[in-house]
Amino acid sequence: MNNHQPPQISIGMPVYNGDRFLQQAIEAILAQTFTDFELIISDNASTDKTQEICQFYAQRDRRIRYYRQEKNLGAGWNQSQVVRLSTGKYFKWAHHDDIFAPQLIEKCALALDNNPTVVVCYPQTIIIDGEDKHVEKYVDNFNLRSPKPHERFRQYHRLIRYGHRCHPFHGMMRTDVLKSTPLVGSYPSSDLILVGELVLRGEVYEVPEPLFFKRDHAETSVRAYRTYRERIAWYDPAKKGQLHLTKWKWLFEYLRAIKRVQLRWSDRLLCYLQMAQWLLWNWLYLAKDLLKAATWPLLQPILNFELPKKVVNKSQI
C-alpha cells in the first residue's frame, strides 16, 4: 500500500469480545491474493483478549489500523464507525468469526471494476460451524441485475419476506455510495434496511463461487440475543429497557430511503406501491407494535424486572 495514496479496498472489522475466532479471521484477510487494502478494526471495549490480538497484528502489518473505544457503544455504532474511518474506493465488512477464501477480495473488486452499474458484489456462501466444518451451501439468489430500481426493490422484498441471512451485506460495496446512506442503524435488522437502500441505488452482483465462509455458532448475535428487546440493547446499550416499535421503524426507514435516493418519478411511485404491498404483508406485526405501545406503561416494569442476584454464603463454598 502506497503511503501517499489511499488503498483500493477498505475492510472494516467491528469487534467485541471476539478472541475465540479473531486470529483466524485476520489471518484469512492477510492471506488475500489482492494486497492493496487497509484493515480497520474497531474494538468496542472488549474485555477478553481481543485487544491483545489486534495490537499484535497491527504492530506487524502497517495495513492494519486498530481503534479501541473506552466503552461499548453498541453494534450499530461500531458497524458504521469502520465505514466512517475508511478511505478506499471499495468497502467490505469483515467480522471476527467469518473467513474469507484467498481470492474473495480480488474477485469482488474485479467485478465492481468491470460493472459500473453494480454497487454491491458478494460471493456465494458456505455456512460453517464453530469447528470449521461445512454445514451447508447457502443459496442467496441476490443477483439483482435489473436496470430498473423498482424491479430490484420488488425482488429484494420478495427474497427477504420470509427471512433471509442477507449475505450481500457482507459483500464489497462502492464506498461513495455506501457513505451516501445512513449506514447501519442502531436497531434490529438495520443491515437489511441498508441493503434495501443500496438496491435502490444500483445493481447487486453475485460472484458464482463459494468464497465466503459464514460461521454459525452459539455466540452469534441472532442466537445470543433472541428477542427484539435483547437485540435492541445489543445494537445500542443506551436503549436497554426502552420502548422500540421495530416494524414501524423499518417502515419509516424504507420510506426515507425511497425519498432520499435520486429516482425518476415513475420509479419512486412504483417503490411506494411496493411498500403498500409490504404493509399488507406486515400489518399484523405493525398492529402488535401499536398494542405494545398502548400497554407499555404496564409492560415496562414487568419486562425490565430483574431477579435479585443470589447471595452466596462463602462458608458454603
pLDDT at 314 over 60: no
Tell me which residue range forms the domain holding 149: 9-223
Is residue 299 domain-resident? Answer: no
Alpha-helix runs per DSSP H in 31-74:
50-58
Global confidence as pTM: 0.90
pLDDT (tens digit, 9 = 90+) per residue, 217-237?
A: 777 766 665 576 787 888 888
For residue 70 the three cell numbers come to 473506552
Q: For 16-39, what is the mean pLDDT?
A: 97
Percent of the chain with pLDDT over 70: 91
CA dihedral over 125, 130, 134, 138, signed as positive or negative: negative
Q: What is the distance between the alpha carbons of residues 301 and 237, in angstroms, rounded to a whole number?
A: 18
- Nearest by Cα to 144 from 203, 232, 61, 193: 203
Q: For 246-271, what is the mean pLDDT?
A: 97
Question: What average pLDDT does the chain have?
Answer: 91
Are 206 and 142 contacting, i.e. CB atoms less than 8 angstroms apart?
Answer: yes
Is residue 25 domain-resident? Answer: yes
Are 118 and 205 contacting, i.e. CB atoms less than 8 angstroms apart?
Answer: yes
- Cβ neighbours of residue 116 closer than 8 Å, sequence gap 6 or more: none
Beta bridge partners of 121: 172, 205
Number of domains in the chain: 1
Q: What is the distance between the alpha carbons of residues 211 and 161, in angstroms, rounded to a whole number?
A: 26
Q: What is the distance between the alpha carbons of residues 182 and 96, in angstroms, rounded to a whole number?
A: 23
Is residue 35 domain-resident? Answer: yes
For residue 223 the three cell numbers come to 442466537
Is residue 77 domain-resident? Answer: yes
HSE-CB of 164 using CA atoms within 13 angstroms = 21
Alpha-helix runs per DSSP H in 13-168:
22-30, 50-58, 75-84, 104-114, 149-160
Quick one: which H or E segment has residue 300?
helix 296-303
Is residue 276 domain-resident? Answer: no
Phi, psi of 292, deg, nearest 5: -60, -40
Q: What pLDDT shows up at residue 230?
A: 80
Is residue 68 domain-resident? Answer: yes
Q: What pLDDT shows up at residue 165?
A: 84
The C-alpha angle with vertex 143 and arms to 139 and 148, in degrees rounded to 5, equals 145
- Let me know if 38 is exposed, middle or buried by CB neighbors in 10 A (0-12, 13-18, 19+): buried
From residue 264, alpha-carbon distances to 148, 267, 269 in Å are 10, 5, 9
Is residue 291 domain-resident? Answer: no
Q: Which amino acid is at 234?
A: W
Percent of the chain with pLDDT over 90: 79
- Nearest by Cα to 201 from 150, 255, 252: 150
Q: What pLDDT shows up at residue 317?
A: 30
Is residue 277 domain-resident? Answer: no
- Cβ neighbours of residue 3 closer than 8 Å, sequence gap 6 or more: none
Domain with residue 150: its CATH number is 3.90.550.10
